[in-house]
Amino acid sequence: MKVGVISDTHGLLRPEAVAALQGCERIIHAGDIGNAAVLEQLRAIAPLDVVRGNNDQDAQWANGIPDSLQLDLEGWPALLVHDIADVPGLLAAGTRLVITGHSHKPCIEWRGDCLYLNPGSAGRRRFQLPVTLALLEVQASALEPRLVPLLE
């Protein structure tokens, strides 16, 4: 299964992001969405799992969006939360994938048998950080993540 992982759009869903997400069977947004239009555009591509980010907390359109989600991706137990600082209080035994955003810093890191994935920021560039999202190939025996740069 091909999963698109995006975060920190802050109201901007770039055409490059839409193109990169084509063919995904599922999309995960790790918060700081920015507005409901971003969610509508993503749902038009594939089923969407989403959490609120710190910048979405006071937005009326985001009231029904949870702060964290426990997911199952083809048998891989996963935690989705915006800020990695919240992970220790939410991490369930057996979790094999943790998806976060917030820092705008893309990261693919195995910690033991758990993959920590931050797709980076797909919205407006902050500082000198890259503008990225991630694609995740989910198979019964493997998780294969890769970062996708959206701007040169």
What is the mean pLDDT of the segment spanning 41-66? 97
- Going by C-alpha positions, the residue among 119, 79, 80, 87 that lies closest to residue 103 is 119
- 127 pLDDT band, cuts 50/70/90, is confident
- 36 pLDDT band, cuts 50/70/90, is very high
On the question of pLDDT at 27 being above 80, the answer is: yes
Element (H, E) at 15: helix 15-21
Give me the chain's average pLDDT, please: 96
pLDDT score of 32:
98
pLDDT score of 92:
94
pLDDT score of 126:
85
pTM greater than 0.95? yes
Enumerate the β-bridge partners of residue 136. 3, 145
Would you state the structure tokens that stand for residue 115, as one six-digit string? 């993959």
CATH class of 2-149: alpha beta
Q: 140 Cβ partners below 8 Å, 6+ apart?
A: 74, 75
> What residue spans define the domains of the chain?
2-149
Q: What is the pLDDT of residues 57-114, one digit of tens each?
A: 999 999 999 999 999 999 999 999 999 999 999 999 999 999 999 999 999 999 999 9
- Going by C-alpha positions, the residue among 63, 75, 79 that lies closest to residue 28 is 79
Task: Give the number of other Cβ atoms within 10 Å of residue 87's Cβ.
Answer: 15
What is the mean pLDDT of the segment spanning 6-15? 97
CA distances from 95 to 14, 39, 77, 127 (A): 31, 26, 5, 32
- Going by C-alpha positions, the residue among 124, 97, 86, 113 that lies closest to residue 5 is 97
